[in-house]
Amino acid sequence: MWFTWIVLVGMAIAMYVIIYRYEKKMDALHDKIKENKTSIEENHTKIRKNHSRLEEHNSFIERMWVTIPKSKEE
């Protein structure tokens, strides 16, 4: 009878340890995800800035392309 109780208590403790370690790993994973989300948001703002600059450069290039004569003979 005592043996079964010892086995049950041991299994309960083992389950608790396994679940506790799993929760710790998941907390660490969630922290890393939050860090990555902030860096992704920072990169999105940089991309938006660069995108507007790229559009300005492209429009400038298009204007230059229109004003450049096709050949020097004309």
pTM for this predicted structure: 0.50
Query: How far is residue 60's CA from residue 15's CA, in Å, rounded to a whole number?
Result: 66
- The stretches of the chain forming alpha helices (DSSP H) are 2-67
37: Cα separation from own chain's centroid: 5
* Sign of the torsion angle spanned by Cα atoms 26, 30, 33, 35: negative
Average pLDDT over residues 6-17: 96
| Better pLDDT: 38 or 8 | 8
> pLDDT tens digits, residue range 22-69?
999 999 999 999 999 888 888 888 887 777 778 777 777 777 766 666
pLDDT at residue 66, rounded to an integer: 65
pLDDT at residue 48, rounded to an integer: 77
pLDDT at residue 68, rounded to an integer: 63
